[in-house]
Amino acid sequence: MKKILTALMALTLMLSALCPAFAEPQEELVLRVYNWQDYINDGTDEDGRKVARSVMELWEQDYEERTGQRVRIQYDTFETNETMLNTLRTGKTQYDLVCPSDYIIQKMLIETEKGDAGETNIAIEKYDLSKMPNYTANVSPYISDLFARYGWSEYAVGYMWGSVGIMYDPETVKLEDVSTWDFLWNTDYKKKATCKDTSRDAYVIGLLKVYGDELKANRAAYDAGEIDGPELQRRAHEIANRTDDESIAKVEAALKDMKDNLYGFEVDSGKTDIVSGKIAANVCWSGDAVYALDLAEEEDDKYLEFVVPEEGSTIWFDGWVMPKGANVELAQDFVNFMCDPAIAAMNQDFIGYTSVIAGDDIFDLVLDWYDEEDGDIEYDLSYFFGGTLSPDRLTDGKAIVRTSERRRQLMTQYPDIDTTYRCGIMEDFGDQNDKVLAAWSNVKGTNLPVWVYILAIAVIVAAAAAIVVISGSSKRKKKR
């Protein structure tokens, strides 16, 4: 009898090893991701209805098929970089991946180098790029070069990128007027434009105004062949990050004048206000401009345009970083999956912003959106797609998209190389950040009578009561 029991036990162990059905159930892995709202393909349509599997569900299936291990994504969202940063600092939730913007990535790198992660909880882990073949093979060489130049390559993997410029209605705004940041101070357009209600973006616009002559002189030197593109960009970058006391004072004065000329500051309403005709121009990020250009054309047959003023502007990035203590292996696997050009194309198509990934699938998407057989403009995107495309995607060795439209969606998503040279990258303002914030507070501040504040408090209390009553009765409309 003992021999029979021993044999049965041996057989059970053997079957357990050979067949998952006889094995102990494996514990489910969890990848904790913290990302911007509406910033990933979640498989829904424009009305929020589930119509397909999200890229997260696709990765979960792919991972299990490759490894035999079940995995689940815990996905949370934030609305601002500062909200995300404060959440990490509390230490209440440990995330494996977060998606901050450029200056926050820099702040995290500084904290990492200081080695005080225990106090701030924003230090980050290094990537092992040997385990990121999709990224290394398909990231745009332009983006890769920038990440290397600013020391981000080991700690961040790019996600989306774009520029800051002015979206405008060409029926009411002249191109020559909006081609300079002076436009925001131009009294011919008083109360017809809005600007982003963020201290950093507004501050840089003030710098571009204050040092406009210097920026134009730098561009003239580039046009004359006296300096090359990278040097022009280095100079633009330096000016876009000036935070000495004199610059802060000059910018504050300039922004106060600009405020008097604007329709107002806005957070997210500019792209719809310009479509409705409430305003004629809006300072915005390129991704929001693409959304508004699409919306205006589809709903009102209105053709808006987007321009980066001649002085220059800023290029922004959002990227994946791994907070200290993250499950590095799992996080890298997910990011590598996201960098597959086919998956990156799904995200770009859903979000409307521009992926840092190049490759055939992304280029095919661009061709599908914008290429015109009879277009009279050969728009060369080799600087972005170079080295990532199959030979059959190339025209005389170049990544050519034929178009008949300037300053529209194609050129908004993919500025030409000369435009990128005029754009710097915003850095963390470091010890001067409080002074910049104080200057912004002075710009936004108004001296109102006491009764106005009392009335405002009463309105807020009444609104809060109303929200309690109707809580849950409405759903935020999904953006593209």
For the chain, what percent of residues have pLDDT higher than 70? Answer: 86
What residue type is 90 in one-letter code? Answer: T
Are 127 and 157 spatial neighbours (Cβ–Cβ below 8 Å)? yes
What's the CA gap between 422 and 472, in Å, rounded? 47
Strand partners, 76: 34
List the beta bridge partners of residue 162.
Answer: 316
Q: pLDDT tier at 115 (50, 70, 90 boundaries)?
A: confident
Give the CATH number of domain 25-160+319-354; options: 3.40.190.10, 3.40.50.720, 3.30.460.10, 3.40.50.11060: 3.40.190.10
Model confidence band, residue 26 (pLDDT cutoffs 50, 70, 90): low
Q: Are 89 and 121 in contact (CB under 8 A)?
A: yes
Write out the residue limits of the CATH 3.40.190.10 domain(s) in the chain: 25-160+319-354, 164-317+357-432
Give per-residue pLDDT as tens, 415-447: 999 999 999 999 999 999 999 999 999 999 843
Beta strands (DSSP E) in 56-175 are 71-78, 97-98, 157-168
pLDDT in tens, 222-249: 999 999 999 999 999 999 999 999 999 9
- Per CATH, the number for 164-317+357-432 is 3.40.190.10
Asked whether 290 and 412 are in contact (CB, 8 A), the reply is yes
**Element of type H or E holding 465:** helix 450-470
Task: Look at residue 176 and tell me whether its pLDDT is greater than 60.
Answer: yes
pTM of the model: 0.86
Can you read off the two tokens belonging to residue 46?
């424009």
Q: What is the DSSP string of 282-332?
A: EEEEHHHHHHHHHHHHHHH----EEE--TT-EEEEEEEEB-BTT--HHHHH
- Report residue 212 as tokens: 């406009």
Within 8 A by CB and 6+ apart from 188, the residues are: 177
Number of neighbours of residue 84 by Cβ within 10 angstroms: 23
Indicate whether 463 pLDDT > 90: no
Q: Which of 424, 68, 442 is nearest to 215 (CA)?
A: 424
Mean pLDDT of 369-395: 96
pLDDT of residue 92: 85
Conformational region of residue 43, where left means phi above 0, alpha means psi within -120 to 50, and beta covers everything else: left
Flag the least confident range among 118-122, 345-349, 354-358, 367-371: 118-122
pLDDT tens by residue, 291-305: 999 999 999 899 999
